Amino acid sequence: QKHLQVLTLANLTTPCGTYLDRDKLMGRHNKWSSTSLLHQINQPRPPENMWIQWYLACRLFGSIREQGKLYEPLGTWDVTPQKLRTQWPLYYDSRNNTYYCFNKTTKDQLAHCESDIDVHIIESITQVPSASAPATIYYNEINVGQKTGSIANDIDLFWRTYYSKMEEFDQQVLHL
């Protein structure tokens, strides 16, 4: 849905990649949802009869009855917050148990979910530690994505393992 700035399934899910964002599912914008950094399509809200098709399409990916739980959860976040194609209202660094948000309102709302947390207000995504993962509030609980190491390292390891099992002739053709 261009009105919601959704181009991929990741634009439609919570940071943990397990649930469909309930507001985007219902065709609404929400301050706790991600926003795309790739594009800004200015499209008015489609008529209500179009939302039935949207809702049916979303059911292809997840169960609407189980809080929008995806049939097949997405994987871990493989890039730093600065390289994501979306921006989240909140980020979490598990190394120091710290949250990062962009405004005081978000910080105050976090206090309602958990009382003993460390929250820093930031002005720019560049202030978020690279080991942080996106986070949001979902059904009055903090929802945090899982972070992995660099995907480049994983791909490199995979490729080198694959290459080592190739026939010698094929290795010479690729001459790595």
Direct distance between the N- and C-terminal alpha carbons of the chain, in angstroms, rounded to an integer = 43
Identify the pLDDT of residue 3.
62
- Phi, psi (degrees; rounded to nearest 5) at 83: -105, 0
Instruction: Render pLDDT for 17-53 as a digit per residue (tens, 0 to 9).
Output: 888 888 888 888 788 888 888 766 677 777 888 888 8
Whether this model's pTM surpasses 0.95: no
Alpha carbon separation from 20 to 10, 55, 153, 172 (Å, rounded): 9, 11, 29, 47
Q: Element (H or E) spanning 105, and its range? A: helix 104-113
- To the nearest whole number, what is the mean pLDDT of the chain? 79
Q: Is the pLDDT of residue 75 over 80?
A: yes
**Within 10 A of 125 (CB to CB), how many other CB atoms are there?**
18
Q: How do residues 94-149 score in pLDDT, each as one tens digit?
A: 888 899 999 888 888 887 777 678 889 999 999 999 989 998 876 667 778 776 54
